[in-house]
Amino acid sequence: MEAGEHWDAVRVERRTGLLAIEHLDGQCGAVICDPWTRILYFLTTAGGTGDWDVDRTRACSSSTYVSVPALGAEGHQLHWERRPSRDLHLTDPGLLRAALANAVAHTHRTRTEPTP
């Protein structure tokens, strides 16, 4: 399905995305999981990723296609990490940006070990 009309998506590696979901808690909308590539796609407001700049993520908007799973899809195939609900199907882009920036910083920080 083409992004950019009804929603935009933000692509991120699964490990980082799972941390962002925890950070967003009850404010996280629908998230698609591609288990083969270990990638998550967060759905957000159409046009909400126009100035996207979070490291290690990629905004998907107009002219970008995202595979959307069936609602009953299971974990070994393309599936919903978080299913869309009536009350919350898109994550606010500002909240998503903050959650992903925090998760990227946490999962990709470099550690400096003291030298003996």
What average pLDDT score do residues 4-24 get? 95
Would you state the pLDDT for residue 114? 55
- The three-state secondary structure class of 26 is helix
The average confidence (pLDDT) of the chain is 91
Would you state the pLDDT for residue 77? 92
Sign of CA dihedral 61, 19, 68, 88: negative
Tens-digit pLDDT profile for residues 19-67: 999 999 899 999 999 999 999 999 999 999 999 999 999 999 988 899 9
Would you state the pLDDT for residue 18? 97
Domain parsing of the chain, residue ranges: 7-108
CB 17 within 8 A of CB 42: yes
